[in-house]
Amino acid sequence: MFSKLTEDCFDEIIQYINDKNTLYSFLLVNRLFCRKVTPKLWSEPFAFLEHSSPVLIRTYISCFSDKERDSLYNYGLKIKIKYKPSLFSYPSFLNEFDFWPLKTSTEEWVRSFGHKRNLKMSPFFRYFLKILLRKCKNMRTLRWFTHEKCYLMPDIRNFSSGSRNVFKNIRELHCGNYYLNPTFYYQLSKICKNITVLNVLHYHKPNDSHLSDLIKKQNGLQSVTFCSLSGGTLRLVDSLSSQAHSIVSIRLEDTDLTDVSSKGLMMCSNLKTLELLDCRTNDPNIFWEPFVLNSKIRLSKLTLVRVPINPKVIEIILKDSCMDLEEITFDKIVVESIPEILNILKSYCTNITYLKIFIIKYYFTQKLFKIIPSFTKLKSLIIRNSRLSFGNQFDKLGFCLPKSLRLFDMDLEISAFTLKRFLLNCSSPLERLILNYSVGFTNEHLEVILKYAKAKRNLKSIGFTYRSLPELFIPSFISEATEAKVKKFIEIYDPDDQDDCLF
């Protein structure tokens, strides 16, 4: 079958396979598979690493010339390296470069020779890095982080070779931490003009404009994420207006918005994703005022969690976005500030496919049950609340869920009997179910789920959250035998939601 595929078709198929074990098994099929899969595996080797890997460094050094390997001796290694030449030029495949895993892997490789020394910014590591990057031909993603206060990151100018700079064609930039020298942004602003994805972590430079200058010099920035910003925020938010016609996604997390206006956000006329999480401001009216005065954005994704809001603005955004809006995350602040939020969603935003919402009080639960059937395209429903109990109302929810629903995450205290009644009433072909483990989850709950999965044949996986108030905590118990029995029929893995801790 595969012999009838053209190489172009095979290349296209490979791009959609991201499972490490599957790709490794392809290497052993034949020479064509090996030749096609190897560039994919080595384009972003750090993504497949769970910890540092000295084997990675050994493979890269096997691609060095004899002269380059011998020169490592003069730069501090003090050991002559003789490796059999590699079949492939692995560094040439690298298009996603992650500095810190490379550093830790190099240190472990050096220690494997009996060296006790810490590399830090030794001549050896700088030289090794220079050789490696000089062989890269298609760098597209740069992850430039340091996790040690005393560690001095290398100057990116060291990796230029004449008119060629290995970082010139970067499209995605992920960088930051408190210890990154701001001159990094200044140097990049002279090199990179086509960054489309920018992710900055831990920025506190109130008197520095290098990062905002970098933003302004891009030809088509599309996605921006700022996390843990506490200085120069006004300048950075305003600089987004320079990319007003290209930006489609903005995420601000743990960011100081004191005295900051949302003008830079509002001017992004093609904005489709807006996420504000755990942001601080003295006066939300100052921040949101530009949206009140002149907002015409039509979002497809809106996330508001632990952020001071202006209820009028949220209503404007929802009405303007209308049927374009597909993903919504609202926390307790939004729900309490806009009592009619569910009615607004029902009136304007029935195309949503993802809804994560905080439930307050009994009347809100009743409203939710009445409105949920209106969302006929809803695929994921995540419920968060502070009481962790629905009581007898939970049985009725099964009748209300739309048939489009595939994932249901319920942060609730429910008995095995109530869970059984809910699943019997549920007409949605659920593929994934997520339950709260910290409120008395037992073997009986798992038996109910297993019986449902065998009967319906659509449930593929379950997972657990571990959230509860101290006074509501109920010890849970699942025996290894019951868990093993369930795992033969259903996958068990916990959700990976980095924002859930804010609820």
Q: Which amino acid is at 439?
A: V
User: How many Cα atoms occupy the beta-carbon half-sphere of 229 within 13 Å?
Assistant: 30
User: Using one digit for the tens of pLDDT, what is the confidence trace for 420-476?
Assistant: 999 999 989 999 999 988 877 889 999 999 999 999 999 999 999 988 766 666 677
Is there a domain that residue 39 lies in? Answer: no
User: 280: which DSSP letter?
Assistant: B
Q: Is 372 found in the same domain as 348?
A: no
Is there a domain that residue 217 lies in? Answer: yes
Element holding 224 (H helix, E strand)? strand 223-231
By percentage, how much of the chain surpasses pLDDT 90?
Answer: 38
Tokens of 162: 């004449």
pLDDT in the model for residue 124: 80
* Other Cβ atoms closer than 10 A to 152: 11
pLDDT in the model for residue 143: 93
Is the confidence at residue 118, as pLDDT, over 70?
no
Is the confidence at residue 170, as pLDDT, over 90?
yes
Q: For 462, left (φ over 0), alpha (ψ -120 to 50), or beta? A: beta
**What is the rounded distance in angstroms from the CA atom of residue 94 to the CA atom of residue 88?**
12
H helix runs in 322-442, sequence order: 332-337, 341-348, 361-371, 394-400, 416-425
Residue 200: pLDDT band by 50, 70, 90 thresholds? very high
Q: Is 343 found in the same domain as 380?
A: no
Is the confidence at residue 119, as pLDDT, over 60?
no
Pairing of strands 160-161, 164-165: antiparallel
Is there a domain that residue 42 lies in? Answer: no
Weakest-pLDDT range from 211-215, 304-308, 387-391, 444-448? 387-391
Weakest-pLDDT range from 231-235, 356-360, 423-427? 231-235
Measured on CA atoms in the order 179, 198, 286, 498, is the torsion positive or negative? negative
Residue 390: pLDDT band by 50, 70, 90 thresholds? low
Is there a domain that residue 493 lies in? Answer: yes
Q: Is 376 found in the same domain as 295?
A: no
Mean of pLDDT over the chain: 85
Contacts of 237 (CB under 8 A, 6+ apart): 257, 260, 261, 262, 263, 264, 265
Q: Which of 321, 352, 383 is the last residue of a domain?
A: 352
Q: Which of 352, 383, 400 is the last residue of a domain?
A: 352
Is there a domain that residue 322 lies in? Answer: yes
Weakest-pLDDT range from 113-127, 182-196, 254-268? 113-127
**What is the rounded distance in angstroms from the CA atom of residue 216 to the CA atom of residue 210?**
10
Is the confidence at residue 283, as pLDDT, over 90?
no
pLDDT in the model for residue 161: 59
pLDDT in the model for residue 1: 44
**What is the rounded distance in angstroms from the CA atom of residue 106 to the CA atom of residue 416?**
52
**What is the rounded distance in angstroms from the CA atom of residue 304 to the CA atom of residue 293?**
20
Number of domains in the chain: 2
User: Using one digit for the tens of pLDDT, what is the confidence trace for 316-353?
Assistant: 999 999 999 999 999 999 999 998 999 999 999 999 99
Contacts of 356 (CB under 8 A, 6+ apart): 328, 329, 330, 380, 381, 382, 384, 409
Is there a domain that residue 332 lies in? Answer: yes
The domain in which residue 344 lies consists of: 171-352
Is there a domain that residue 277 lies in? Answer: yes
Is there a domain that residue 110 lies in? Answer: no
- Burial of residue 482, with CB atoms counted within 10 A of its CB: 0-12 exposed, 13-18 middle, 19 or more buried: middle
**What is the rounded distance in angstroms from the CA atom of residue 254 to the CA atom of residue 273?**
17
Q: Is 489 found in the same domain as 386?
A: yes
Is the confidence at residue 116, as pLDDT, over 60?
no
CA dist 128 to 101, 135, 260, Å? 14, 11, 44
**What is the rounded distance in angstroms from the CA atom of residue 402 to the CA atom of residue 426?**
9
Q: Is 322 found in the same domain as 389?
A: no
pLDDT in the model for residue 174: 95
Most confident of 116-130, 162-176, 480-494: 480-494
Q: Is 421 found in the same domain as 305?
A: no
Q: Is 475 found in the same domain as 373?
A: yes
Q: Is 177 found in the same domain as 274?
A: yes
Tokens of 227: 């996390």
- Which pTM was predicted? 0.88
pLDDT in the model for residue 2: 47
User: Using one digit for the tens of pLDDT, what is the confidence trace for 241-272?
Assistant: 999 999 999 999 999 888 888 888 888 889 99
